[in-house]
Amino acid sequence: MPRLAEARKPAEPASERQVERWDRILGAAAELGTDTAYEQVQMQEIARAADVALGTLYRYFPSKVQLFATVFAARVARFVEEEWPVEGGDAFDVVGERLVALNRRLMEQPVLCGSMVRATAANYADRSELRAPVPDSHLYAAVLGTLGEDDPCQERITAVRMLVYSWWGVLFSELSGRTTSSEARYEIGLAARRLLARDASRG
């Protein structure tokens, strides 16, 4: 019988050994989720693949929602760190191109992407302290950094937030097959230029 998730705040890895174990869990979840639908992925299987006790898995991730939402946040953070930096070019175009590249990277594993998006949506709806990390902060920092904004005004922050919301919508639409990759590229690029350039012209 599957173990029921406990309503408690996830533990944070502190030691090097705990961080390594935490990373193994995320890697195992991503590997199993690459070809297995979200509903069919079992926490017991993830614990076994990560070579950790089931209790250890639940200590760090009390629910599958928190686990796959964390996988998503980690993937976005890694993309921002390793693949976002671009030198030169129009800043608005660069932002659009990097968001398109992020979608392309995520869509390389559509089954896993679907699980991560589903879990992250549920995670956003959770207003308790149990909520897992969200990817927004990494994207906000990346966009503002590309724009050269060290101390952005509230209107600029709002424009970036609206752009991230637009990116979310396009990713979901592309994932569900309602938007083609070429349409997604156009829509994200248009959103970046319209939202950010309009905001800049007001400043």
Rg (CA), the chain: 18
pLDDT digits (tens, 9 = 90+) for 8-48: 567 777 789 989 999 999 999 999 999 999 999 999 999 99
pLDDT mean across residues, the chain: 88
Residue 110 confidence class, pLDDT cut points 50, 70, 90 = very high
The CA distance from 75 to 79, in Å, is: 6
pLDDT at residue 104 tops 60: yes
Ordered DSSP codes for 79-135:
HHHHT----SS-HHHHHHHHHHHHHHHHTTSHHHHHHHHHHHHHHHH--STTPPP-S
pLDDT at residue 4 tops 60: no
State the pLDDT at residue 8: 59
Residue that wins the pLDDT comparison between 87 and 7 = 87
Sign of CA dihedral 98, 115, 22, 59: positive
Sign of CA dihedral 138, 101, 90, 199: negative
- Per the listing, tokens 């589903």 go with 118
pLDDT at residue 203 tops 60: no
Judge contact between 91 and 156, C-beta under 8 A.
no
The CA distance from 63 to 57, in Å, is: 9
**For residue 87, how many other CB atoms are within 10 A of its CB?**
5
DSSP 147: T
- Give me the mean pLDDT over the 95-124 stretch: 94
Judge contact between 123 and 132, C-beta under 8 A.
yes
- Per the listing, tokens 């959103």 go with 191
State the pLDDT at residue 1: 41
Name the packing angle between helices 43-50 and 16-33 (round to 10°): 130
Residue 2 confidence class, pLDDT cut points 50, 70, 90 = very low
- Of 2-6, 133-137, 179-183, the poorest mean pLDDT is in 2-6
pLDDT digits (tens, 9 = 90+) for 135-166: 788 899 999 999 988 888 899 999 999 999 99
State the pLDDT at residue 7: 55
Residue 89 confidence class, pLDDT cut points 50, 70, 90 = confident
Residue that wins the pLDDT comparison between 124 and 46 = 46
